[in-house]
Chain A
Amino acid sequence: MFPTMTAEKPISLKPQVPLREPSAATDDVQRAIKLETRHLDFYYGNNQALHDISLQIPERSVTAFIGPSGCGKSTFLRTLNRMNDIIEGTRHTGDVLLEGTDIFDPRVDVVALRKRVGMVFQKSTPFPKSIFDNIAYGPRVAGLKDLSRLTEIVESSLKRAALWDEVKDRMRDSAMALSGGQQQRLCIARALATEPDVLLMDEPASALDPASTTRVEDLIFDLKSNYTIVIVTHNMQQAARVSDRTAFFYQGHLVEVGPTQELFTRPKEKQTEDYITGRFG
C-alpha cells in the first residue's frame, strides 16, 4: 500500500516491498506491476499532450520510453512522480497507480511519493555543495541528523551508483569539480539515498561521452535487480541495450509496448517500425 497522508497514520518513507536478492530482470519471470496508468489523459492548458495511456510497468526491470520529440514520453515520465504538478495550467484525467494506489489521491504526500519515485534528469544537476552533502541532502531533508547513519547512506549510495571508488578520498570536495559522467552518477547516487523503489531517468546519458555512457548503462543494469527503472531515451540503441520492455509514443499516444527484443526485431505496428528504422521522426 502506498503511504498516504492521514491524521491517524504516520507516513512511512521506507520501501513497502523489501529489497530482494539480485536477479537478472531479462528473464521470463512474471513480475508484479509496480506502476500502472489507466486511461491517462494529460493537458497543458487546452493542449492535450497525452491521450488515453494505459500502461503497466513491472517491478525490478527497465522500461524504456522512445518516440520523436514532442511525442509525450517525457510528460508521461514526469506524471509518474507528479513532477508536472509544478507546471501551472496542467491537469489530467485517468489514474496513475503505484502498487495499486492512486498517486493523485488528495491524501498522498507528494514529497513522500517523490522519495519513492526518484528522478534523474538529462543534465546532471549537482548542488554547489560537497560530494558528501549532495548525497546526504535528501536524508537530511527527511529529518535524519545522525552523522554516522548519514555516512553509511552516503557510502552505500555512492557504491550502488558505482562512484564510490572514484570519490571516496575527496568527499569534502565540491561536486561541481567532478566530470560530466561522474556528476550524472552522483545524481543517481543522490536519488538512491532516499531509498526509492522507482527511478525515473530522463535521457540520463545524452550529454555523456561513450565511456561515461557505458558506465551509466552498466549501472542501470546493476540497479534493476533492486529498483524499477523507467528511462526516456532518444538513443534507440541505448533503449535496445538497457531495457527489458520498450514503449513507443507518438503524438501523445502509446502506439506499442512490449519486450524490447521483440519490439526491435519484429514490431507489431507499422508506425513503430517506421520510427525505429528511421523512416520518419
Chain B
Amino acid sequence: MSVHMQMDVSNLHKDLLAMCTQVEDMIHRAVDQLSEPNFETSRQLVDEDNDIDRKDVEIEDACLKVLALYQPVAIDLRRIAAVMKISGELERVADLAVSIAERACGLLNSPQVQVPDELKGMAQRAIGMLHRSIDAYVDLDSTAARKVCLEDDEIDDLNRELIEQLIRQMHKHPEQLDALLHLFSAVRQVERVADHATNIAEDVVYLVEGRIIRHAHKLNVDKPGS
C-alpha cells in the first residue's frame, strides 16, 4: 500500500472512530431522556446531529477519493466499503437519537403516562448492541459481530410485545393517545437503533471475512464459499 493511501485510510479510520464515539454518546443521552426528558438536551442533540451529517458526508467524500485514486482491492477495498457503510449507519443512529429525545420531551405534557421499564431495558440492549458492533469493528472480530446479529431477533420480539402492550393501553385509555403515540414511536426508533447496530455488525463480517451476510438468513446463503 502506498504511503499516500496508507495515510488516507488511517485518517478515515480515525474519523470513523471519532464519529462512533460521538454517536454512542448521543444515543446514551437520548435514551436517558426517556427517564428524565428536558428540552435543552434535545436541542443539543439536534446541533450534534448536524455535525454528524457533515462528518458522514466528509467520510463518504474521503472514501470515494481513495476508491478513485488508488483502486484498492481485497482488505483495503473491504475497509473502504465498510467505513462508507458504517458511517451511513451511524448517521441514521444520530437521527434516531434526536427523534427519541423529541418523543421523550413529548411525554412531558402527560405525566400520568409512564415510560415502561421494558422500553428502557430494550433501549439499553440496543445501545449495548451498538457498542459491541463498534468494538467488533475496532477489534476486527467477526465472531463478536455475528453475536450482535443474533441479538436482533430478541429486540424484534421485545418490540412486538411492547407495541401490543401500547395498543392495549390505547384502547383502554384513549385520552392518553397523544402520549402513547410518542411512546409507540420511541419503541420503533429504539428497535431501529438495534437494526443499525446489526447492519454495522454485518459490515464488520464483510470487512473481516469478505462475506456479505445481509439477508443471509432469508436467502440461506451464508455458507463458506458463498
Contact = CB atoms under 8 A, between A and B. Distances in A.
A266 B73 contact: no
B74 to A, nearest CB: 5
B1 interface: yes
A16 interface: no
Interface string A235-249: 011001000000000
B106 interface: no
A278 B2 contact: yes
A277 B72 contact: yes
A273 interface: yes
Interface stretch (B41-49, B75-83, B167-175): B75-83
B211 interface: yes
A265 interface: yes
B73 A265 contact: yes
A279 B1 contact: yes
Contacts of B76: 277
B69 to A, nearest CB: 12
B211 A264 contact: no
Nearest to A272: B74
Contacts of A180: none
B176 interface: no
Given A276-B73, A276-B74, A277-B75, A266 B210 contact: yes
B209 interface: yes
A267 B76 CA distance: 12
Given A237-B71, A277-B75, A277-B76, A265 B210 contact: yes
Contact of A266 (B1, B5, B71, B209): B209
Contacts, number: 33
Contacts of A236: 71, 73
A240 B73 contact: yes
Interface residues of B, number: 14
A279 B75 CA distance: 11
Contacts of A266: 74, 78, 209-211
A277 B73 contact: yes
A64 to B, nearest CB: 13
B210 A264 contact: no
Contacts of B74: 264-267, 272-273, 276-277
Interface string B50-77: 0000000000000000000001111111
A273 B1 contact: no
Contact of A265 (B1, B5, B77): B77
Contacts of B209: 266
Nearest to A262: B210
Contact of B75 (A237, A240, A273): A273
A276 B5 CA distance: 14
Interface in A255-281: 264-267, 272-273, 276-279
Given A266-B210, A272-B74, A273-B74, 7 more contacts: A240-B73, A264-B74, A265-B73, A266-B74, A266-B211, A277-B1, A278-B5
20 contacts: A237-B71, A264-B74, A264-B77, A265-B73, A265-B78, A265-B210, A266-B74, A266-B210, A266-B211, A272-B74, A273-B74, A273-B75, A276-B73, A277-B1, A277-B72, A277-B74, A277-B75, A278-B1, A278-B2, A279-B1
Interface of A: 236-237, 240, 264-267, 272-273, 276-279
Task: Report the 9 A-B pairs with minimum CB-CB distance, sorted nearest first.
Answer: A266-B210, A264-B73, A278-B1, A273-B74, A276-B73, A277-B76, A277-B74, A237-B71, A276-B74
